[in-house]
Each structure stands twice: as structure tokens, then as C-alpha cells.
Amino acid sequence: MEALKVSSARGALRWHLPASRAWPRRSACRSCVRQIVASRGFATATTESPSSKPYYVTTPIFYVNAAPHVGHLYSMVLADVLKRWHVLGGQRAILCTGTDEHGIKVQQAAHLQSVNPKQLCDDNAAMFLNLAHKANIDCDRFIRTTDADHVDAVKHFWWLLNERGLIYESKHEGWYSVSDECFYTESAVEKCMDAFTGDVNMVSIETGSKVEWIEEKNYHFRMTTLKDKLLEFYKKNPNWVHPEPRMRQVVNWVQNNLEDLSISRPVSRLTWGIPVPDDESQTIYVWVDALINYITNAGFPGWTPGRETEGGWPADVHVIGKDIIRFHCVYWPALLLALDLPLPKRVLSHAHWTMDKTKMSKSLGNTVNPFFAIDRWGVDTMRFFLIYDGGIAEDADYNNERISQRYNSALKSRIGNLAQRVTMARQWNVRSAVKSVSLSRHRFKEAPRREMQLLFSAHDDSLSRLSAIPAECMKNLNPSQALRVIIHELAEADKFITATEPWAVVKDAEPLGRQQTVDMIIYLLAESLRIAGILLQPFMPEKATELLDLLGVATENRTLEHARPYCDFHYGKPIGVWATPGIKKQLFPNALLDESSPVPKTSRSGLIR
């Protein structure tokens, strides 16, 4: 894994430029501007090879006004699994995560804690970076919106929008939510009584966040001029947002609610952010600032004509939570279309985690601390649970007892126990079985008993189809189903060993074909573990590596290409720690479940003890 890169902003955040209430037009002629825009954007034609573009997946950049919670971990793991899957398939891939560090919420949080906003950002960004390390996230850059190259990219993006006449200054009034960092129309708010205080406030119907009436002068982006282009794009790409119901939400919102977007805030209200170029009285709207991080990481605005995609853009997948769909699926494509830049290929919008069927909330004290959870269960157990039980279309409930059940039934029994039964029995030897089968492939067709032939044939067919099914699931942005398919195959292998009873075959009084039959049973079981181990690497990197080491699979033979039967006859002798004579080690030990280490209960705050 490449070193995670964290950089802090260099120099003062606010740029000391001449203040002006009106946007000053540049003196460059229109033809010169067109040349500059073309050189800084994507060329209309490119000669580069498609293979030069890496697979590019992003998480949302996480807001630093509070500590990370399990939802942030879920986004990270989803993106990491997608990246690792493509690397498994031999493709170069890039994963970017990071922190969103500007805006009113950070400014207010810093004020409440009596610290400088930058100090608050540094401290909280470090926690998110630590979480990425702890969760074994293979990210290529940890970007921060206070990074100097990002500040430059945002200012340049703004300048390009203005040169195209897409920014104007106007009075703006409406219902504003500090929590959501956005304005809402009259039809999108309602009166609501606070259940705890009895106070009646105006709140967003969509999020429940408190709103306040704001009247101010700021800059606007002519988003309504792009309505037809947006709708045309959605029509041509009906599966752009996954799952499909959220795609319908996006289309409906653009058809019925699209209006020009307020893209700056007066300094009198917001000082912590990137200033509007040439106008120190205004600060760039935090969501315009934040969204641009995806192209900052991809090299914008320094793209070389003909080689624009080398940094990864357009992104193959944006992984986001369902609560930020409008920003990523309306505002972001509109901003990109405004500059004729390619749009991301897909958006994976996942659902939320709940606690006892109740939405997690800091005010309710029922959020889950991801650091405690990883310390308690182990990183791969948590990764497994989040992907296996996490919701894409519907919210999922976080439950410690369910984590325990998954560990016991899926990890310990399905993987750990099967691996132990196959590799550590004294009656047979995996390496000998692999060598035996390598000399005469499909020898099971000559098995003495017809019923054994049928069992061999059925399991062989199942193994031949195994890798294609998860691959299709991953293509459809469904890691959970891919993982379930792999675990189901191991459940079938468990049934296979019970049905074939190799421990009984070795004692068969009839010696004819006895050894060949045992070898074929053990080989097919070892193949189940080997192929599953390869496919599990993106989901559980450490435990999958241990499993493949136990089987003695060479490092170079752990790619997606090797996730098929009869393609590797060199394994069977344990390597690494498993090669130590007399070792007593388990892939998934009992320690997590025994009485000396009970299943954790949730405290009243919802944090794992």
C-alpha cells in the first residue's frame, strides 16, 4: 500500500486580493479565454490509450466538525472493496478519501471549543486518517480541502465558470440550514415542535434540520441554464445512480425544484473558507469547494492535452451516503457540464446505519465509535459485517449480537473450521492430493461409486461458476451480494465434506480407487478454499492472506485470473507463520466469543464498551 499522503494548507488561507462588490471581468479576449479553458480542461479529442486511465473510486470527503462514526467507516470500506477488486483483476486503481474542512459548521465548532478552525481541522482530520489506517483502507491520497493544490483548483474552477458567464451577483433570501449547509425553498420546510424543549422551529422536510431565514447578497451559479443538459444526461444514463429509486429522486428534483445555486457566503457570516477571487467580502460555498476535491486529486487544472485521464478522471464510482445525493448528483454534474468536463461514470449511494432501528444521532447518544468496534471485533470482522449486512437501498441496523453471529456462523464455521478440517487432518495431505489430481485431471469420472461421481461433478461445476457470479455483482455495485455468494459456496463445500465423508473413505475395506477418491475429495475442498480465499481478499485482506498462506498459494497466483479450478497445481504446503512446525493457530479463534471475552453491550451513549 502506498503511503497515505496528508498535507496541510501552505500559506494563509484567505488570499489578500483587492475587494470588490462586483465581479471584475478579465481583460483577456474571448478567443484567448477559449484557448486557456481548453488547455486546462479535457481535450475534445484524445489519442491516449484507454488502458492509461486507472480505475478511480472516491469516498465522500468527511466533514471535520465532529469525530468519525460507523457510517464514515462504511463508506471507506465500500470504496476500498471496489478498488481492491479491480486491482485483483489486474487493473491499476486509485482510491481517494479525505476531509471537508471549510464552512459554517466547522467555524462554529471551533468557536465553541475555543480553538482556531485550522487546529480543529488538523486534529479531526488526523482522526479520519487514523481510521483509514486502522480499517486497512488502501487509499492513494488522503485529501484535505485546506491543501494548497485544492485551494488553487477551486479558485481556477471559479474563474472558468465566470469566464463563461455562469456566475452573477444577486440578493438571495431563503431558509438556510447550517447543519446541511444549504438553502431550502418555502415548499421544502415546515414547522416542527422539538420533542425535548417544546420549541417550535422551521425545519427541512427532507432532513429535519433546523432552518433560519437569511437575506444576503452573494454570487450565484446559473444552474437552471443546464437543466435540459442534466435531464438529457439522466435519460441517456438511467443507471447512473445506484440504487435505481434514488436515480428517480434525482430526476424528479431537477424537473421540479432546480433553481440557480447560491455559491458564496458573505464574510460577515463565514470567514473560514476559500475566498471568492478578487472579492474578499465573499467566501466560496463549502459544497462547491468540497466537490472539486475529486478532480483536484486527478490533477486538475494541470491536465496535459491528450493525457487528461492519467490521474483517473472521470471517476468510475463516487461512493456517497444517501443524504448527500443532491449535491453529488445535481450540483456536481451541473458544475462539470458547465465546463464541458466529463461526468463521473457511476454514483453508489448507500443507506444509513441505525441502532435498534433508530437513526444514529449525536444528540440521541446512539452513535457507534468505529475505533472501539475495530478494537473489539478485529478489522476484518468489522469489514465483513459492514459489507455483508450493510444497506444500499435500505437502512441497516447495527447490532453487536449480529456481529457475533456473523463471526461464529460465517467466519469461524464456514471459513475457519473448514480450513482446519481440510488442511490439518492426519488422514490426508493437501499437497499430495493436489499433486495426485494434477497428474490426471477429472479422475473423479472413474470413481468406483456412481454417487461419488455425481457429488464430484456437481461440486466441480459449482467451482467453475464461482468467480463469475461475484464479478457480475461487483460490476453492478453490489459488494454485499458478491460476499454472500462466496460464503454460500463455502457452505456448499461444508455440505460436500459431510456428504463425501473422506474420514470414512480412508478406512474403506475395498482398496480399489480408495486413495484416488480421497485425493479428489480433498482437492475439491482445497480448491473451494483457494478460490474463495482469492475472492475474499478485497473484503478481508488480512484473513484472506492468512487463508492463502495456510494453503500455500504463491503470492503471484492470487489474482482474479487464478480464481478458477485446475489452474494452480503448485500449492498445498503451508507458508509464512503456518509453516512453523507444531503451530497451534486458528484463522478465527474462540477468543472473541468465550466467557472471558463476552459479546459487548452498548452503553447508554451507544458506544461499544
- Where do you find CATH 1.10.730.10 in the chain? 402-583
What letter represents residue 175's amino acid?
A: W
- Which pLDDT score, from 0 to 100, does residue 122 have? 97
Phi and psi at 159, nearest 5°, equal -60, -40
Q: Single out the residue of 557, 576, 577 nearest to residue 567, CA to CA.
A: 557
Interval 549-569: pLDDT, tens: 999 999 999 999 999 999 999
- Which pLDDT score, from 0 to 100, does residue 115 have? 95
Cell, residue 293:
476535491
SS3 36: helix
CA dist list (Å): 603 to 50, 600, 609: 52, 9, 7
- Which pLDDT score, from 0 to 100, does residue 31 have? 39
Interval 519-551: pLDDT, tens: 999 999 999 999 999 999 999 999 999 999 999
- Pairing assessment for the beta strands 317-321 and 55-58 based on DSSP bridges: parallel
Q: Is-contact 53 314, C-beta < 8 A?
A: no
Query: What's the residue count for the chain?
Result: 609
SS3 153: helix
Query: Which residues are bridge partners to 189 per DSSP?
Result: 204
How far from the centroid of its chain's Cα atoms is residue 530's Cα?
A: 26
Q: Single out the residue of 533, 529, 502, 522 nearest to residue 434, CA to CA.
A: 522
- Which pLDDT score, from 0 to 100, does residue 608 have? 31
Q: Single out the residue of 369, 409, 371, 415 nearest to residue 389, CA to CA.
A: 409
Cα gap 314→404, rounded to integer Å: 40
The end-to-end CA distance of the chain, in Å, is 31
3-state secondary structure 349-363: EECCEEECCEECCCC
Cα gap 385→405, rounded to integer Å: 10
- Where do you find CATH 3.40.50.620 in the chain? 50-350
Q: Single out the residue of 89, 55, 61 nearest to residue 75, CA to CA.
A: 61
Fold of 402-583: Isoleucyl-tRNA Synthetase; Domain 1 (1.10.730)
Angle value at C-alpha 105, between 99 and 106, nearest 5 degrees: 50
- Pairing assessment for the beta strands 358-359 and 396-398 based on DSSP bridges: unpaired
Residues of the chain with pLDDT under 70: 1-51, 172-189, 191, 193-200, 204-209, 211, 213-214, 362-363, 441-448, 509-512, 591-609
- Which pLDDT score, from 0 to 100, does residue 10 have? 30
- Which pLDDT score, from 0 to 100, does residue 508 have? 77
Cell, residue 243:
440504487
CATH superfamily membership of 50-350: HUPs (3.40.50.620)
Q: Is-contact 273 283, C-beta < 8 A?
A: yes
CA dist list (Å): 118 to 9, 277, 283: 9, 21, 16
- Which pLDDT score, from 0 to 100, does residue 54 have? 97
- Listed in sequence order, the DSSP H helices in 212-357 are 227-236, 244-257, 286-291, 293-296, 325-326, 332-338
Cα gap 309→47, rounded to integer Å: 11
Q: Single out the residue of 227, 251, 229 nearest to residue 239, CA to CA.
A: 251
Q: How many CB atoms lie within 10 A of CB 404?
A: 18
